[in-house]
Each structure stands twice: as structure tokens, then as C-alpha cells.
Amino acid sequence: MNLTRREFTRAIGVSAAASSLTPAARIPTQSAGTPQPKVGYCIVGLGRISMDHFMPACRISQRSQVTALVSGHREKAEKMAAQYNVPSKNIYSYENYNQIADNKDIDAVYIALPNSMHAEYTIRAANAEKHVLCEKPMATTVKDSQAMIDACKAANKKLMIAYRCQYEPTNLRAVQLIRDGKLGTIQAIESANGFKEHAGEWRLSRKLAGGGPLMDVGIYSMNACRYLTGEEPVHIAAYASVIDRDGRFNEVEENVSWTMKFPSGVVASCNTTYGAEMPGFFRVHGSKGMIHMEPAFAYQGLHLKAQIQGEPFIDEPNNQKDPYQFVLEADDFAQCIRQNREPKANGEEGLRDMQWMAEIYKLAGVKQA
């Protein structure tokens, strides 16, 4: 869904306000030999996730760098440009965004706009012959998600959705324990993720967000159940509710609870909310043991524990600090571009989550954008 510049500017104004891991988990460095040039990212939208996480990640990366900015606030853009050595000629507005096509400093765009703007700015980037790394959820509708995929394929450009947990070492450790059969036959998964949202945030606007906590943080539980099992659901049941009648949830849901049955027989139970603090976690129960990861989806401080029959208790805190997850994400996409490799978290991966979330909303009786 398209927004006017005034609507977007208002939304942004409201919402802005040394490792102990194994070597494989550390921030990657260039291999010996002639280093490849860094991939130049154009940052589209100067909000919290871009300024506080993605851009600092590019600063310490050996494969990625910030080379251009797109913002509706010139003064803010100039301030950030000075911090990242971005020349004034590489600062764009939303109106002249298409001119990035003429800028060879830009290899890819990182889209960190409200959900309803993802499709438009992805398609415009593809038309400008730039690769796209887009924040999740990839859009607000299945139709827009497919249009993003089609535009990037037509332009022969890569599209990756920012599922950073799929590149994060502690999540990958959980997946490997399951794939190696350490837990035996997987029987059930539990997951939840949520927080108490404040009045006035753009996430409470159906037009901007496309939905409530499911689209924002519930998607982590949805995606985790899929990558933990390696399967797609065959049956879903869902419920939604609004408990706090204080005006915050006039347009979007406050709570969503859903269950998914997978082809193997695994049943997953998930919850998400904007009404309470609900630290993101997942538990995987198998015939030989159990994994509990909490936090599972945060930017830092992830912690995996596992009880496996006949083996010592596993207790593995991840002491890496933000923005290391964003470095892994940005650099994997940079390598996809340099090596002409399809991203693991490609557009089709984002589309599948959009399709499942649309089904959850339908079953729960929640109106979408």
C-alpha cells in the first residue's frame, strides 16, 4: 500500500526517538589474497534499525559499507553522511530515489521503511538495477511480496529478506543439534515473542504496518518453527484478541495465538503480543532431549540450553554484542552479490511467511491492510 510523503514523515517522526564464541561465530574477515571491493549499500530510511544497528554493522564490516542515504529529512541525512563519509551527492530524497540508477557507488539498497513501503521501494530499486536487502516482513500483502520477487527477477537482481536469525550462530547451533539427531524424533515446539507497545507508534497503524504483533515480532516464531523443522505447515489454527481497550488497538490486533502441524507430525504452539513483555524464546522437545533458547531473537545476549540423554548438559551463552548479527547478515548478502549466489533468505522465503501469516489472520478473523 502506498503512503503519501506526509504520512511517512509523520510516522518516522513518531517512531524515532571481543568474542567468547567459537571462531565460526565471529564476525567474518576477508580471506588472504586480493580483497574484493566492499559492497556499497544505500540505506533507505533513517530510523532506529538502520541508524542504531545496520549502519554501525557496516562500519566494522570488511565486506560492506554505507555509500548512500535516502531520507525525507535532509538535515538528519547530512549528519549521518558526515559520520559515514558519504558524499553529499549520494544523499537522496524519496522523490529523486530513482536517480540511484546512475550511481555506481551503490551496489545494493537496504530498505528499513515501514512495512507498507517495502514493495514500492524494492521495485523501484530493482528498476534502478540495484540488489535489495529488505527488512522483514517483506511487505504487507502476498500480492506485493510476489511483485517484489517478480521485479527483482526481471532485473536479474538479488532479493534478500533480513531474517538475521537464519545467519546467527546460536540459532544455527540449535538447527544443527536437531539435524544431527541429538534430540531424537522431534515431537513439539513452543515459541513466543512480544512486547508492550506504546501509543502513537507506527506499528499500531494498519495502513503502515499491515497488521499487529504477528507481522512485527510473531514472524520470528513463525520463521523459527519453519527453519527448526525444515518443513512447511500442513495445518494451522489461530486466534486473536484485544484485551486492553485503551485505544492502542483500534486498527491492529493485540494478541495472536496459533498452532501449526507439520508433515512429520510435529506440532508447534506460538504466541505473540503487543500487550505484555514476552521475551522471545523457543523450546524444541524430542524423544531424546530438549532445547531451550531464550533469548532466541534479540540483537544480543542469546542463550542456548539443551538436555540430551546420555550427554552433559549444554549451556551456551552467546556473548557477542550488537551489531554483530547485522554484520553477518550484510556480509552474507555482499558475498551473494560478489559470488552470484542466491541468498538463503531470498524473496521466496519471505513470501512463504507472508502466505502463512495471511492464513493465520484469516483463520483468526483479523482484517488485514
Burial class for 330, CB neighbours closer than 10 Å (0-12, 13-18, 19+) = buried
Catalytic hit among 92, 110, 220, 361: 220
Domain containing 333 equals 5-162+325-344
122 and 81 within one domain: yes
316 and 221 within one domain: yes
Is 208 within a domain?
yes
Is 71 within a domain?
yes
> What total number of domains does the chain contain?
2
Torsion of CA 232, 256, 362, 135, to 10 degrees: -60
Are 103 and 125 in contact by the 8 Å Cβ rule? The answer is no
- For the question of residue 220 being annotated catalytic, the response is yes
39: Cα separation from own chain's centroid: 20
CA gap 203, 115 in Å, rounded: 9
203: Cα separation from own chain's centroid: 15
Among 211, 210, 216, residue whose Cα is nearest residue 196: 216
93 and 216 within one domain: no
Are 85 and 113 in contact by the 8 Å Cβ rule? The answer is no
Residue 58, SS3 per DSSP: helix
> What pLDDT is attached to residue 10?
43
78 and 225 within one domain: no
284 and 331 within one domain: no
220 and 113 within one domain: no
123 and 211 within one domain: no
Q: What is the pTM of this model?
A: 0.91
End-to-end CA distance of the chain: 8
> What pLDDT is attached to residue 227?
98
CA gap 146, 134 in Å, rounded: 14
Question: In this structure, what CATH number is given to the domain that contains residue 266?
Answer: 3.30.360.10
182 and 227 within one domain: yes
Q: Which residues pair with 285 in a beta bridge?
A: 188, 290
C-alpha cell of 313? 548438559
> What pLDDT is attached to residue 29?
60
Catalytic hit among 38, 130, 136, 157: 136
130 and 81 within one domain: yes
267 and 145 within one domain: no
pLDDT (tens digit, 0 to 9) for every residue of the chain, 369 residues total?
Answer: 444 444 444 444 434 433 333 333 455 565 555 678 999 999 999 999 999 999 999 999 999 999 999 999 999 999 999 999 999 999 999 999 999 999 999 999 999 999 999 999 999 999 999 999 999 999 999 999 999 999 999 999 999 999 999 999 999 999 999 999 999 999 999 999 999 999 999 999 999 999 999 999 999 999 999 999 999 999 999 999 999 999 999 999 999 999 999 999 999 999 999 999 999 999 999 999 999 999 999 999 999 999 999 999 999 999 999 999 999 999 999 999 999 999 999 999 999 999 999 999 999 999 876
Residues 6+ apart with CB under 8 A from 265: 187
190 and 158 within one domain: no
Question: In this structure, what CATH number is given to the domain that contains residue 158?
Answer: 3.40.50.720
> What pLDDT is attached to residue 138?
98
Is 287 within a domain?
yes
> What pLDDT is attached to residue 4?
44
